[in-house]
């Protein structure tokens, strides 16, 4: 597991997501097993009691199904973890130029985010900056942006 610039381990959010998923699956598994052990339909709905042999077979079958579900969940979790990068923690950012401090160096915001996530950037100017930087052409540019659906 890589460490970020604060020395903390990356992936805390991934771990929480995985823990919640496994806790939900474990909860369903325990409810299912308790249903078979206690024979809930018999007591709740007044059904005929189910034989222990039948309930034991159902418990084994359900345990196999849950095991397969957990294995599939772990597989997809690991696959998703490789594709998803979650930025966590505090980032020291310059109030003026928006560079990020990493160790003792300052790097451009876009470079930091691109190197720590799957995000890529394409640059554009917002209408306020267009008016500030190109006041003589701002109305034409903004009208063209709006016509293209970008304004």
Residue 72 shares a structural domain with residue 134 = no
pTM above 0.85? no
* Residues 6 or more apart in contact with residue 127 via CB below 8 angstroms: 138, 142, 145, 151
Q: What is the number of structural domains in the chain? A: 2
Residue 69 shares a structural domain with residue 109 = no
pLDDT score at 143: 92
Work out the mean pLDDT of the chain and round it to a whole number. Answer: 82
Beta bridge partners of 68: none
Quick one: pLDDT band at residue 108, thresholds 50, 70, 90? very high
Residue 35 shares a structural domain with residue 72 = yes
Residue listed under structure tokens 């059904």: 47
Residue 59 lies in a domain: yes
Is the pLDDT at 149 greater than 70, yes or no? yes
If one counts every other C-beta atom within 10 angstroms of the C-beta of residue 112, the result is: 20
Residue 57 shares a structural domain with residue 20 = yes
Domain that holds residue 127: 100-147
């Amino acid at each position: 597991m890589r460490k970020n610039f604060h020395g903390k381990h990356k992936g805390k959010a991934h771990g929480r997501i995985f823990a919640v998923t496994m806790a939900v699956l474990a909860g369903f598994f325990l409810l299912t097993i308790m249903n078979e052990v206690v024979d809930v339909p018999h007591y709740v709905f007044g059904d005929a009691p189910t034989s222990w042999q039948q309930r034991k077979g159902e418990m084994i079958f359900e345990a196999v199904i849950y095991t397969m579900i957990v294995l599939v969940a772990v597989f997809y979790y690991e696959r998703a973890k490789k594709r998803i990068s979650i930025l966590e923690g505090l980032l020291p950012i310059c109030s003026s130029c928006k560079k990020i401090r990493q160790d003792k160096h300052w790097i451009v915001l876009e470079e930091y985010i691109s190197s720590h996530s799957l995000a890529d950037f394409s640059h554009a100017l917002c209408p306020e900056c267009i008016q500030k930087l190109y006041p003589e052409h701002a109305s034409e540019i903004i009208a063209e942006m709006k016509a293209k659906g970008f304004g």
